[in-house]
Chain A
Amino acid sequence: MYKKVFCVAILLLILAAVAPVFAQDDVVVRFRSWSPVIATTNAMIEAFNAENPDITIEPDITNYPEYLVDLQTMAAGGSLPDLIGLEPGALTQQYRDHLMPMQNCAVSTWGEDWEDQFFPVGIEQARLGNPEGDDNIYGLPVLVQTINMWYTVPVYEEAGLEPPATYDELKEQADMFNAQGIAPVMIGAGDGWIRRDVYMQLIHNVAPGLIYEAEDGMASFTDEPFVEAMTWWQRLFDDGIFQMGALGMSHYPAAVEQIQAGRAAMFPMGAWWMQQAGNPDPPPLDENLSGYAPFKFPDVTGMGAPEDLLGGIDVMLGVTRDSANPDAACKVITDFISGAGAQALINTYNDLPAYIGLRPAAFGSENQEAVWDLFTEDWLASVQYARQLKSPDVKQALEDALAAVAAGEMTPAEGMQLVQDANSM
């Protein structure tokens, strides 16, 4: 009995040692990212290979938080893949030393005036956080986005209402929806990023652009406007604008499931919400995006909210310095941005293209097309400020402070002090 078991085990052990050996015949480009999802990535690769059969792309797509862990460990282990997905700002800066400047690749593909072929915000943010004098672009933008609010169309039709434009309207509608057992604003505030997204929109309402000055030390996070925005954040919880227990819920998947089931009147999200229509087996509201429409964050202060939205790059791609085939990697990236791969990507409505002029091959409904046009022609052009922050420490502190204030463990002023402390470190 023992003998048999041990023989099998030793066999397994040997297998284990030799298993991860990969066949390598022609040019291989290893690609890792959290976005686009694997099904979309495979479609993009297929489209790319139809024209470039000599390059093999090996994709590896993981969920965002675990992608960061993988990236970190691979960088430390000196085994970064050729092509990696990046966010502008903190994430790109962290890996800057491992990334190649992309300008040459861009010029050789799109010509000298290549920057004009992208939405300006994409180019601007690609350099976000670069040190003085470093004008290199370490990642080329693939998808861009805005952050905004959405509402559930049938819920509003039934109520005979329009989405709110001021805080008073928001509060009034919230009371009504609460009484019906519908979440007025559904948020999974257990996730730090969505807390931050909402706060960024609040501070943008109170004092546009100020937070970026504070990041650079030209203003303090303890200044009055920041505390005021934080106070609004607190009120969204205290006034029952957000659904009960929001702080213990994840935005994905918990809040999303409720939204898809039609139990949310409004929800904070971004342009990427359009991708719901491209998912397999969509529930009725998702189908052709028939159930949702975007609107701008209500003017909570009542002093007149700025016209522009926050946004920027959703995902960009960079080539690592260790890449054995930088030319092939460049070919893949540029195809994913403006070629057949890009078209396959856009066809899933994953998010807005960074490269101007791409359009999905087909829309399923008029609403869907109208939403697309609103984003690409109107809202995206007005984006001035980033959704992201530069420093990971400030980002973490802000997310912590938002949770603490929402939980009633800190006053808004104390919360902002926490952020300021993180910034001055």
Chain B
Amino acid sequence: MSRRWLIDNQGLFFMAPAMILFVVFVLYPIFYIFNASLYDWDGVNEAVFIGLQNYIEMFTDDRSFALSIRNSLYWTFLTIFPQMFLGFILAHTLTSGIPLQNVFRIIFFMPAIVSPVVLGIIWQRIYAPFGGLLADVGLETGARFLIQPYLADPKIAIFSTIFVNVWQWTGFSMLMYVAGLQGLPGEVLSAAEVDGAGALQRIVYIVLPLLRHVHLTLILLGVIGALQTFALVYMLTKGGPNHATEMLPTYIFQKAFTLQSMGYASAVAVVLLLIALGASIFQVRALGSRFTIGG
């Protein structure tokens, strides 16, 4: 390696810390879970090589795994689009010059910064069908439809959980749209107004397309969020009832640390990893590298 080469490549020195961390805490772990997924291993005692057995079981005979895949899909779509929609409406309203709009922005954003552990404990009290907030409001006002086994019925528990997530992250979408709207060139909007475009038309045909980068960023972060989800589900339902709210991360955790099947957990982790990589590649192809804030 000549001196000349080093000078031409001095960018490598700038990259070095990031590269080292990347190799130790990302590349090596990825290699590690691929390897561990081929073993029957409880994390404490000797591991036994079993080839693809974990994967075969996972794809042929594992209802919890199938449910967690289904739930991840639900989670992705039912979080991202409602919160983009609501977030945009809020952002639009809160950039129109109504009183206290900065205060409102802080209020709507607040849940996004609160720990999901905290939110899980609070929402349990809101959802409780006996003595919970919604149920008792329903009981006292006669709005009996509010009395539901929100977290107890396997058919609705996942949606109740997703609802909390939407509530938590809508403020974040709002903030991104506020930033986006404030960055729009004013002439575009006033020109449209002179042309006599109605408010709705203006939004649909001019504003929304101009905010393309914000939409894409929110989709990206939404997918990451859906694949990462752990704490909220762990606190609200522990993945139950009967695995109805199981997500891949909660399933990995349960397998690895409560049922002591580190090998199987690694196999599930490999699947999650492949899904995440697939989503990344899709994003990169669709958006190029300029896909987030300020791209």
Residues of A within 8 A of B (CB): 65, 68-69, 72-73, 75-76, 94-95, 97-98, 183, 186, 189-190, 243-250, 254, 257-258, 263, 392-393, 396, 400, 403-404, 406-407, 409
Q: Verify B147–A244 contact, CB threshold 8 A.
A: yes
CB-CB < 8 A to B243: which residues of A? 400
CB-CB < 8 A to A254: which residues of B? 124-125, 128
Q: Verify A409–B154 contact, CB threshold 8 A.
A: yes
Query: Across chains A and B, which 10 residue pairs bring their CB atoms closest together, nearest first?
Result: A245-B129, A248-B152, A248-B151, A247-B152, A245-B149, A403-B242, A404-B242, A245-B152, A243-B130, A403-B241
Q: Verify B124–A250 contact, CB threshold 8 A.
A: yes
Q: Which of A95, A246, A263 contacts B152 (CB 8 A)?
A: A246
Q: Verify B259–A249 contact, CB threshold 8 A.
A: no
Q: Verify B257–A249 contact, CB threshold 8 A.
A: no
Please give me the residue from chain B that is nearest to A406 by CB atom. B241
Would you give the shortest CB distance from B152 to chain A, in whole angstroms? Answer: 3
CB-CB < 8 A to B124: which residues of A? 249-250, 254
**B29 an interface residue at 8 Å Cβ cutoff?**
no
Q: Verify B147–A248 contact, CB threshold 8 A.
A: no
Q: Verify A190–B240 contact, CB threshold 8 A.
A: yes
Q: Verify B130–A245 contact, CB threshold 8 A.
A: yes
Q: Verify B45–A407 contact, CB threshold 8 A.
A: no
Would you give the shortest CB distance from B187 to chain A, in whole angstroms? Answer: 36
Would you give the shortest CB distance from B235 to chain A, in whole angstroms? Answer: 10
Q: Verify B44–A72 contact, CB threshold 8 A.
A: yes
CB-CB < 8 A to A263: which residues of B? 130-131
**0/1 interface trace, chain B 23-42, chain A, CB 8 Å (1 if under):** 00000000000000000001
- 27 pairs, CB–CB < 8 Å, chain A vs chain B: A65-B258, A69-B257, A69-B258, A72-B260, A97-B44, A190-B238, A190-B240, A244-B147, A245-B129, A245-B130, A245-B135, A245-B149, A247-B152, A247-B240, A248-B128, A249-B128, A249-B151, A249-B152, A250-B124, A257-B131, A258-B130, A263-B130, A400-B242, A400-B243, A403-B242, A404-B241, A407-B153
Q: How far is the CA of A403 from the CA of B11 in the complex (A)?
A: 57
Q: Verify A248–B153 contact, CB threshold 8 A.
A: yes
Q: Verify A76–B44 contact, CB threshold 8 A.
A: yes
CB-CB < 8 A to B238: which residues of A? 190
Would you give the shortest CB distance from A266 to chain B, in whole angstroms? Answer: 14
Please give me the residue from chain A that is nearest to B150 by CB atom. A248
CB-CB < 8 A to B258: which residues of A? 65, 68-69
User: Could you list 16 further interchain pairs (A-B, Cβ under 8 angstroms) beyond the known A73-B257, A248-B157?
Assistant: A72-B257, A72-B260, A75-B44, A76-B43, A76-B44, A95-B44, A97-B45, A190-B237, A190-B240, A245-B135, A250-B124, A254-B128, A392-B259, A400-B242, A400-B243, A406-B241
Q: Verify A392–B260 contact, CB threshold 8 A.
A: yes
CB-CB < 8 A to A403: which residues of B? 240-242
Would you give the shortest CB distance from B167 to chain A, in whole angstroms? Answer: 18
Q: How far is the CA of A76 from the CA of B45 in the complex (A)?
A: 9
Please give me the residue from chain B that is nearest to A402 by CB atom. B242
**B127 an interface residue at 8 Å Cβ cutoff?**
yes
Q: How far is the CA of A111 from the CA of B258 in the complex (A)?
A: 38
Would you give the shortest CB distance from B184 to chain A, in whole angstroms? Answer: 31
Majority secondary structure of chain A interface residues (helix, strand, loop or mixed) = helix
**0/1 interface trace, chain B 116-129, chain A, CB 8 Å (1 if under):** 00000000110111
Would you give the shortest CB distance from A105 to chain B, in whole angstroms? Answer: 24
CB-CB < 8 A to B153: which residues of A? 247-248, 407
Knowing A183-B130, A245-B129 are in contact, say whether A407-B43 is a contact too (CB < 8 A).
no
Q: Verify B241–A190 contact, CB threshold 8 A.
A: yes
CB-CB < 8 A to A393: which residues of B? 259
Q: Verify A94–B260 contact, CB threshold 8 A.
A: yes
Q: Verify B259–A396 contact, CB threshold 8 A.
A: yes
Q: How far is the CA of A409 from the CA of B64 in the complex (A)?
A: 14
CB-CB < 8 A to A76: which residues of B? 43-44
Q: Which of A95, A243, A407 contacts B154 (CB 8 A)?
A: A407
Q: How far is the CA of A404 from the CA of B242 in the complex (A)?
A: 5
CB-CB < 8 A to A183: which residues of B? 130
Q: Which of A72, A189, A245 contacts B150 (CB 8 A)?
A: A245
Please give me the residue from chain A that is nearest to B64 by CB atom. A400
Q: How far is the CA of A97 from the CA of B241 in the complex (A)?
A: 34
Question: Which residues between 241 and 285 of chain B lie within 8 Å of chain A, taking CB atoms?
Answer: 241-244, 257-260
Q: How far is the CA of A406 from the CA of B154 in the complex (A)?
A: 10
